[in-house]
Amino acid sequence: MTQFLQQLTNGLSIGSVYALMAVGYSLVYSIMNFSNFAHGGVIMLGAYFGFFGLTTFKLPFAAAFALATAGTALVAIVVERVAYKPLRDRKAPFLYFIISAMGASMFLENFVIATIGPNPKPYPPIIPREPIALGDLALGRLDLIMFIVSAACLTLLVLFIDRTRLGKAIQASAYNMKASALMGINTDSVVILVFALGGFLAGVAGVLYGMKYMVYPTIGAITLKSFIAAVFGGLGSLPGAVLGSVLLGVIETLVAGYLSSQYRDLIAFVILIGVLIVRPTGIMGKAVEDKA
């Protein structure tokens, strides 16, 4: 039983990281209808911003965190302006957006390899590594913090989208961009806002990921899993992204813990494909009107 609870805890902790990353994909998808693969690169930059804030500039944690999230929000906007805006203006097909996104992702990754170097770097110890012991169950302090921060960020995001005028503008644009523009919504600003929000979340995810593991230029590879989790939960639906991520994290850990770690990805993805065959829009993906 302890073993099961321990594995469940591990799975929830991994799932909460996926969730923070997956929501960024879903947010952009709901507005732009394409998968923003540059998101992984932005998360990676967030991890580096936080790292340099803490080590090179010796900032207190809160300041480094603010720097990282502001930095990634800015980078996300720049990526939108440089890589997507020209395509949007020319009404390019969505395939071109995806290619452009992959290009941006590779650029960010290789830019970091060329300027900072490929070697992984550790975050300075901020939170003690000793676990909180509950009987035989070991709860990582960092895991708890990650879980709480993820939940808080996601709740705030949902409140923002549901309760504010800007949130309503995002919802309207997600429903129909053209009609929203005709109703007087500045859809260009909405796109910037969405990328800023996605970038902010990328910063949070990057810093937390860096603290939990380490910082390296190919963090983007792990975000591929969170993208898959977003599809699984229903791309375009925020609660779906969260649910998909947590489920993926838990399934992965239980498969690795009870069957075999070699079969982890194999079985996890067979389940995902099975779900998509039954529900092609993912668990919580519905018709267009419920996006965002």
Partner 1 sequence: MNFRKAAFVVLAIALVLAGCGGKQKADTIKVGWFGALTGDQAVWGENEFNTVKMLFEEYNAKGGIEVGGKKYMLEAIGYDNKGDAQEAVNVTNRLVSQDKVVAILGPNASGNAIPIASTLEQAKVPDIATVATNPKVTVQDGKVKPYNFRVCFIDPYQGAVAAGYAFDKLGAKKAAVLYDVSDDYSQGLTEFFVKSFEGKGGKIVAKEGFTAGDKDFRAQLSKIKAAAPDVIFMPYFFTEVALSATQARELGITATFMGGDGWPSPDLFKLGGKAVEGGIFVNHLDYDQPTVQDYKARYKAKYGKETELNGYLVHDAVLMLVDGLQRAGKVDGEALAKAFESTDIQGITGRIKISPTTHNPEGKDAAIIKIVDGQYKFLENYAAQ
Say which residues have a Cβ less than 8 Å from residue 206's Cβ, sequence separation at least 6. Answer: 42, 43, 44, 45, 46, 47, 48, 49, 50, 68, 72, 219
Per the CB < 8 A criterion, the answer to whether 9 and 1 are in contact is: no
Per the CB < 8 A criterion, the answer to whether 37 and 98 are in contact is: yes
Q: Tell me which of 129, 277, 278, 287 binds partner 1, using CB under 8 A.
A: 129
Does an H or E element contain 113, and which? Answer: helix 94-115
Does an H or E element contain 104, and which? Answer: helix 94-115
Q: How far is the CB of 69 from partner 1 (least distance, A)?
A: 22
Q: Which two tokens stand for residue 231?
A: 């599809």
Segment interacting with partner 1, rule: CB under 8 A, options 27-35, 56-64, 186-194, 250-258:
250-258
Q: Provide the mask over 159-198, with x wherever binding to partner 1 is found by CB under 8 A and - wherever it is not.
A: ----------------------------------------
For helices 141-163 and 165-175, angle between their N-to-C axes, nearest 10 degrees: 80
Q: How far is the CB of 254 from partner 1 (least distance, A)?
A: 8
* Residues within window 191-230 making contact with partner 1, judged by CB under 8 A: 213-214, 221-222
Phi and psi, residue 66, nearest 5°: -65, -45
> If we measure between CA atoms, which residue out of 137, 136, 138, 123 comes closest to residue 68?
123
> If we measure between CA atoms, which residue out of 260, 266, 264, 250 comes closest to residue 14?
250
* Residues within window 67-126 making contact with partner 1, judged by CB under 8 A: 119-122, 125
The site for partner 1, by CB under 8 A, has a size of: 33
Q: In terms of CB distance, is 7 or 33 closer to partner 1?
A: 7
- Please state, in angstroms and rounded to a whole number, the distance separating the CA atoms of residues 238 and 288: 13
Q: In terms of CB distance, is 62 or 133 closer to partner 1?
A: 133
Q: Tell me which of 6, 33, 55, 281 binds partner 1, using CB under 8 A.
A: 6
Under the binding rule (CB under 8 A), the answer on residue 131 touching partner 1 is yes
Segment interacting with partner 1, rule: CB under 8 A, options 71-79, 230-238, 252-260, 278-286:
252-260
Q: Provide the mask over 15-54, with x wherever binding to partner 1 is found by CB under 8 A and - wherever it is not.
A: ----------------------------------------
> If we measure between CA atoms, which residue out of 54, 72, 56, 74 comes closest to residue 64?
54
Q: Tell me which of 138, 149, 267, 276 binds partner 1, using CB under 8 A.
A: 138
- The one-character DSSP state at 215 is B
Strands (E), 83-222: 132-134, 137-139
* Residues within window 264-283 making contact with partner 1, judged by CB under 8 A: 264-265
Segment interacting with partner 1, rule: CB under 8 A, options 8-16, 36-44, 92-100, 235-243:
8-16
Specify the 3-state DSSP secondary structure of 121.
strand
Under the binding rule (CB under 8 A), the answer on residue 252 touching partner 1 is yes
- Please state, in angstroms and rounded to a whole number, the distance separating the CA atoms of residues 86 and 213: 37
Q: How far is the CB of 72 from partner 1 (least distance, A)?
A: 20
Binding site for partner 1 (CB under 8 A): 2-3, 6-7, 10-11, 13-14, 119-122, 125, 129-131, 133, 138, 140, 213-214, 221-222, 252-254, 256-257, 260-262, 264-265
